[in-house]
Structure 1
Amino acid sequence: MRDIYEVMTECLDNKESFVLATILEKSGSAPREEGTKMIIKNDFSIEGTIGGGIFEAMAIKLSSQIFENKEFIIKKFALSNNGASALGMVCGGELKLLLEYIDCNDDEMVLMYKKAAELKRKAINFAFITKIDEKQKNIKGTDKWICTETGFFGEENDIAQCIFRKVRENFKNITFQNLVAEGKKYLVEPVLNHEAVYIIGAGHVSQKIAEITKMLDFKTIIIDDREEFANRERFKIADEVKAIPSFEDIFNYINIDSRSYIIIVTRGHAYDKEVLARMLKTDARYIGMIGSKTKRDFVYSCLLNEGYTSKDMERVYCPIGLSISAQTPEEIAVSIAAELVLVRRSHISE
């Protein structure tokens, strides 16, 4: 999945306005996190995801109204337990969404999103700030600012400077939040450019990998379809732990882009093949799969028969990890982490 800020600037460069949906709050089994974004285009096609069919369908339906009047909407969507069960979720949940019109003819708006995309490409951490004034009804480019650790972009005023000071008080640990100044709400969205490691499979080796990837400053996300394995008790230090209904729907729960590293360590050939097939459709920087050369050849053969190419297979690091004759889970984790560092540093030096 492409970086959402890159997609936004591409739309704006093409003089294409769109509706931007942002998750403000979530509860229950709503699959995506606060701050997750989705673009809805004029033809009602989408880029990105806010977590699946029913939530997206409701957002798309509302977008027609926004395209017409260009006014933002804040809307809470609820999914009952019965509805969730029909979709394969354990229980219901709620999402609170901001849907806003992004106008390609608003020069300040265009500059803000181009600057955001530029900072992401340069791996510079920043906070994106949006003023939400319910009396104003629409959100313009002059209602948006970008704050880095040392600078800011946008229309300068006293209120904005006050917001910047609050944001910088604990910049490295900034969270998605609402700040209030002079009776108006300001949405603060941290865009911290940590590279993300997705460890798919939550066994013993995964526990050791997660410990090292956190030490190496990777955002570490654990995914498994078994809640008894993918839980906070077993992965205390991971940034996120996701127990999902099945690997088939994995893209409803994770967002893969060019800064993502994929480690496939599931419990069997069939699951590894299923996950690998999906990951090969992304632009992940690294895709590694655990297993012997015999297992690798079997999985590759199955995928080639399904229409994948030899070039696709060349993207995969398998057997995973640098060759250090690793035997124990700890040693295997070290070899995998070393390979991640090699890929990371090779990319930076390009």
Structure 2
Amino acid sequence: MINVYEKIAELIKNGTEFVFVIVVNAASATPGKKGFKMIVLKDGTFYGTVGGGTLEKDALEIAKELFKTKGTYYKKYVLKEGDPLSLGMVCGGEVELYFEYVGTKKQMVIFGAGHLGKAIYEVAKVSNEYEFLVVDERPEFANAENFPNATVFSGAGIYRKVTELPMREGAEVVILTPGGENDPYILKGLYNKNISYTYIGMIGSLNRRSKCFEKAVELGVSKEFLDKIFAPIGLEIGSETPFEIAIAILGEIIALKKGYIDKVLTERSAHERT
């Protein structure tokens, strides 16, 4: 039998959203007893039980809706024929269920732990929406002191080990490495990781981007993948300081997720032609 709490810990660790359902009260000869628990995933997969039958079927439908509203819900069932709240079950009694949507934080992956990487981390963490993965060859920059509560990877050759990093589906990736010589290998790792990304942005000039993409293609990265990368990174808002640039980058990510990206790309194209 599955341990519900172990499954919850696993889902949270893997960044998987779910709905938690628990029987908070049960009277008489109901199939679901007080304390029965069930976890429901977005695809309808479920673990545990709240009693089975029509009751559980209805609970699964409610859980499905909670993935849209992302909230909580309470429902009382009267399990006897003829009652307005009845599900038509003949076992009798009453059951009360509590539902709670449990979301997960988005993952932001920062390649380059210098001043700009630190600024993006500081600005983004204010939203309390992210878990951070910070990667840099320089341990004096990429460490727990500079990035508390982040998962940090550092050391020589780390940019050639991107496929080994614990990145999740939908990760938001910013590439801010000094010099840019490692960027093609980072892109190769992201490409070979074979997961979807919400955003990939890379700092640098148009010339740096051109050289990086040319090398990335030589390494086997598809042009279709490269076409989705935002480079140069960030909105054009006249930013100069690391924190201003961080805001420009996060603004671009928000614009993408909110559906304003066509406007962003149009403005960028006009800027690049000048």
- TM-score, normalization by structure 1: 0.47
Counterpart in the other structure of 2:208 = 295
Q: Distance in 2 between matches of 1:205 and 1:315?
A: 22
Q: Distance in 2 between matches of 1:210 and 1:130?
A: 38
1:302 CA displacement: 0.6
Q: Distance in 2 between matches of 1:249 and 1:37?
A: 22
Considering only CA atoms, is the larger Rg found in Structure 1 or Structure 2?
A: 2
Q: Which of 230, 233, 237 is the matching residue for 2:145?
A: 233
Percentage identity across aligned positions?
Answer: 23
1:136-215 equivalences in 2 (<5 Å)? 149-151=71-73, 190-192=102-104, 194-215=105-126
Q: Cα deviations across residues 101-139 of structure 1 (Å, max 9, x unaligned)? A: xxxxxxxx9x944xx2379xxxxxxxx8758xxxxxxxx
RMSD between aligned residues = 4.3
1:23-34 equivalences in 2 (<5 Å)? none
Q: Secondary structure at 1:318's aligned position in 2?
A: coil
Q: Cα deviations across residues 240-291 of structure 1 (Å, max 9, x unaligned)? A: 232245233334332231x321111123323222112222343102110011
Q: Distance in 2 between matches of 1:249 and 1:159?
A: 52
In the alignment, residue 197 of structure 2 is paired with which amino acid? A
The structure-2 alpha-carbon separation of the partners of 1:282 and 1:112, relative to structure 1 and needing over 3 Å to count, comes to closer
1:151 CA displacement: 2.8
Counterpart in the other structure of 2:130 = 219
The structure-2 alpha-carbon separation of the partners of 1:330 and 1:309, relative to structure 1 and needing over 3 Å to count, comes to same
The structure-2 alpha-carbon separation of the partners of 1:251 and 1:286, relative to structure 1 and needing over 3 Å to count, comes to same
Q: Which of 268, 281, 284 is the matching residue for 2:197?
A: 284
In the alignment, residue 36 of structure 1 is paired with which amino acid? N
Q: Which of 146, 153, 166 is the matching residue for 1:243?
A: 153
Q: Distance in 1 between matches of 2:197 and 2:109?
A: 10
1:342 CA displacement: 0.6
Counterpart in the other structure of 1:8 = none
Counterpart in the other structure of 1:117 = 43
The structure-2 alpha-carbon separation of the partners of 1:307 and 1:274, relative to structure 1 and needing over 3 Å to count, comes to closer
Given the alignment of the two structures, is residue 344 of structure 1 paired with residue 266 of structure 2, yes or no?
no
Q: Secondary structure at 1:270's aligned position in 2?
A: coil
In the alignment, residue 295 of structure 1 is paired with which amino acid? R
Q: Distance in 1 between matches of 2:220 and 2:176?
A: 23
Q: Which of 218, 228, 231 is the matching residue for 1:315?
A: 228
Q: Secondary structure at 2:43's aligned position in 1?
A: helix
8 Å contact kept, 2:187–2:221:
no
8 Å contact kept, 1:221–1:241:
yes
- TM-score, normalization by structure 2: 0.58
The structure-2 alpha-carbon separation of the partners of 1:284 and 1:23, relative to structure 1 and needing over 3 Å to count, comes to farther
Counterpart in the other structure of 2:176 = 265
Structure 1: which 5+ residue stretches go unaligned?
Answer: 1-21, 27-31, 39-108, 120-127, 132-140, 172-189
8 Å contact kept, 2:185–2:216:
no
Counterpart in the other structure of 1:68 = none
Q: Secondary structure at 2:13's aligned position in 1?
A: coil
